[in-house]
Every structure is written in C-alpha cells, then in structure tokens.
Structure 1
Amino acid sequence: MTTYHQRVAQQKRALIVRAATQLFLELGYDRASLARIAEEAGVSKATLFKQFPTKAALFDAIVIDSWAGGDDAEVPSVGDLTAGLTTLGRHYAALLGRPGMVDLFRIVIAELPRFPELAKVHFAEGKLPYFETVRTYLVAERDAGTADVADPRMAATQFLGMISNYLFWPRLVVPGWTVTPERVVAVVDDAVRTMVARYDRAG
C-alpha cells in the first residue's frame, strides 16, 4: 500500500474502533451490530469487514489499542529495585490513565455474564503481557541476589494492585474521581517504597 492509502486505512480503522467502543457501551456487545458500527463510523460495511471480519476481531482491536505499548515495555536492568519498580509503576499508571481504558473495563464487566470470552481476551491481550514484564523483572532481581522474592507472581500482583486500586478502580464507580499528576507520582512512589521495604535484600 502507498503511504497515502496506509494513512487513510489507519484513519478509518480509528473511526471504526471509536464507534464500536461507544456502541458497545450504549447498546451492549450483543446488540451492537457491525452494520450499525459502520454507519456510526461513517464507513462502508465493505470497509469495516475488510479490516474486521467479525465482532470478536473488532473487540480484540479495542483491547490492543487500549493497552498499546504495554507489552513493549522493556524489563529494567537489575541491581536497583527502587529504580526498576519506579519505571514499571509509572508506565503502568500511564496505561491505566488512558481515556479509553475505563470504557474498555466497563464493556468487559457489563458483558461478563453473557460473553466471558471478552474478559479472557482482555486479560490475555491486555493486562497479562504487562504483568509478565513486572514478574520477569522481579525474577531477574531475585536471581541476581538483589531481591528476596519467593513468589514473583504474587509480588507482581501486589505491586500493580497498589497502583490500580487508587488510580483506576475508583474511576469505575466514583463519579468525578480524578487524580492529579502529582498524586499519580505519589501513589507510584508509595507502592515502590512498600515493595522495597518488603523485598529488597539490601534492606
């Protein structure tokens, strides 16, 4: 494809994903037809089907777009648990703060009873890759002898939970919940200090 056609295709893809997200929220995953999504996006049904042959493929795209960059996070160098966890924590906070993230979780939660596969896709393609980055880093610190982490999976869950429980989950249920950039930094730093106090071998 030429650069121009690639740009047009990307623009149409973005319109489709945005329209699908809104209709999944308004109508539910089941009732939001691909034809209606194409209409709301202002594209032909042929264009939509060319990029997303099924509704499941379209939902996959919403998940991938929401978490884009999460699975590309590099595992920090070992030797400084505070620095490594700070890097990972701030990246995670940035992912959770993206505008479409709350909408994605609302879709998954609303459709969980009828479409549990959406939650599985969300976890497998969304959070799990970033979770594995944190776990891999903790394993590396343990193997280097700089951290005493008997259960890296539990430790990664604890770390990400401390961040998301303040920065993200209240946004789903508390109207008007906002967090200043300064507070984001403070929440991540507090989570890091807690982890270092618990797991840093030097401490």
Structure 2
Amino acid sequence: MLWAMSRGVSTYHQRIAQEKRSVILEAATALFLQLGYDRTSLARIAEHSGVSRATLFKQFPSKAALFDAMITESWSIDDEETAPPAGEVAHGLSVLGHRYAALLCRPRMTDLFRIVIAELPRFPELADAQFVRGKMPYFESVRAYLLAEHEAGTVRIDDVELAATQFLGMISNYVFWPTLLVPGWEVGAERVAEVVDEAVRTAVARYSTAGSPAPTGD
C-alpha cells in the first residue's frame, strides 16, 4: 500500500516537472524570437514562464543547456521508432520519410530554425548544436538504412550520403523550408503524404535493383 502511494506521488511529481519543463521551453522560444538569444536571460525566462529561478536553474543550469533541450525535444522520436529492417526499400523509405515529415511539421521546429538563422552571425555555436544534436542524428539513421539496403542488394547506391541528402531534401524542400520564407504557407496532412510518397517513388526508381513496389502508405 505504501509502495503504491509512493509510486503515485513520484509519478505526480514527474508529471508536474515535465509540465513546468514544457512551459519553460515555450517561454524561452517566445523570448528568443522576440528579443534574441543574447538579450534573453534565464531570469527573464523564469519570470515569463511563471516558475521560480530555482526551478528553472534545477532543470537548465545555463542558457546553452536550455537551447540544447529545445533541440533535443524538437528532434526526438519515440524509443520504439527504430529504423525499419532492410529488405523492403519502398516500405522502409516510406516509414523514414513520413517520420521526417512529422518532425518538420512540429510547431516548434520552424521557431527553432528561425532562432538559429537570426543568431548565426553572433552565435554560430547554436547552428552547430542544431546540426550535431538535431538534424544529423536523423540524417545518419537514413544513411545507415540505405547502406543496409545496399549491402542487402535491394538497392545499388555509389554515394549513400548523397542519396540520403536527396531523399530528405525532396521532402523538406516542399514541406518545411517555404514556412520560413512564405507567409501563410501551410501543407495539409494529405499533401504531406503525397510529397513523401513521391520522394519514395523517385528514390526507388533511381536506386532499386529489383523494381521494388511503390509505397502504399503507413
């Protein structure tokens, strides 16, 4: 009984801590966009998010740590979302493509890129963090998947890095990058699915060794 109560209290505190973490990250994002990274202090973020400075510093001891958390959460995927096994390249690329589109369509992703681009001249380390801890791990998962397909003989790819870049670029160039430049640019779920499926078909047509079937969706 006591164990169950203790577990319930622990779960409650974890939920409250996560809720405060989300509020802090939302406040930091808004202030970075409004004031810039340099002019936004942790004290101002604490005030804007309605938490004590002690609470904020407990979770984020520095502004750099807070920004790293923004990157990590923006690019995070569930633990069960492992890379698809090699053997069915159309299906595997469809899984990875739809997962990538879902990441790019997260509300905070556009804000994150805008912050990095605005602060790049003064804080190039923000771009480095975004690349190393954000996009690069996902890119590496796609590159590793294509390499596995190549080794399995389902595709023939001389430059796996270039192929991964091309595949992800076909998706991001329509789904994501215009949101930074074109006011009101929105892509509905149906259109996103079409964009991903066309990227898969293009990659399969270019690299497949056995005419793998076209994607049928998730």
Residue in 2 aligned with 1:140? 148
> Alpha carbons of 1:187 and 1:101: their partners in 2 closer, same or farther (altered >3 Å)?
same
User: Quick one: which of 2, 13, 16 aligns to 1:5?
Assistant: 13
Query: RMSD of the alignment, in Å?
Result: 1.3
Distance 1:70 1:115, change over 3 A: farther
Quick one: which of 154, 170, 174 aligns to 1:162?
170
Q: Given residue 210 of structure 2, which amino acid in structure 1 is its aligned partner?
A: A
Which amino acid in structure 2 is aligned with residue 191 of structure 1? A
Q: Percent identity?
A: 66
Counterpart of 1:153 in structure 2 is 161
1:74 and 2:82 correspond: yes
Q: How far did 1:9 drift? A: 1.2
Distance 1:116 1:70 in 2: 29
Spell out, residue by residue over 1:49-77, the C-alpha distance to the aligned partner (whole angstroms, 9 max, x if none): 11111000000111111112178641212
Q: Which runs of 5+ in 1 are unaligned?
A: none
State whether structure 2 residue 72 is matched by structure 1 residue 64: yes
Runs of 4+ in 1 over 3 A off after TM superposition: 70-73
User: Which whole-Å deviations, capped at 9, do the CAs of 1:26-69 have from their partners, x for residues lacking one?
Assistant: 00000001110000000111111111110000001111111121
Structure 2: gaps (5+ residues)? 1-8, 212-218
CA contact (8 A) 1:20 1:37 kept: yes
Partners of 1:98 and 1:110 in 2: how far apart? 20
Alignment match, 1:88: 96
Aligned partner of 2:62 in structure 1 is 54
Normalised by the size of structure 1, how large is the TM-score? 0.97
Partner secondary structure for residue 2 of structure 1: helix
2:46 to 33, 38, 51: 38
3-state SS in 1 of match to 2:126 = helix
Alpha-carbon distance in 2 for matches of 1:159, 1:8: 40
Describe the shift of the 1:157–1:73 C-alpha distance in structure 2 as closer, same or farther (beyond 3 A).
farther
The structure with the largest alpha-carbon Rg is 2
Distance 2:57 2:172 in 1: 36
- Aligned residue type for 1:26: Q
C-alpha displacement of 1:100: 0.6
Change (3 A) 1:162 1:72: farther
Q: CA deviation at 1:145?
A: 0.8
TM-score (norm 2): 0.90
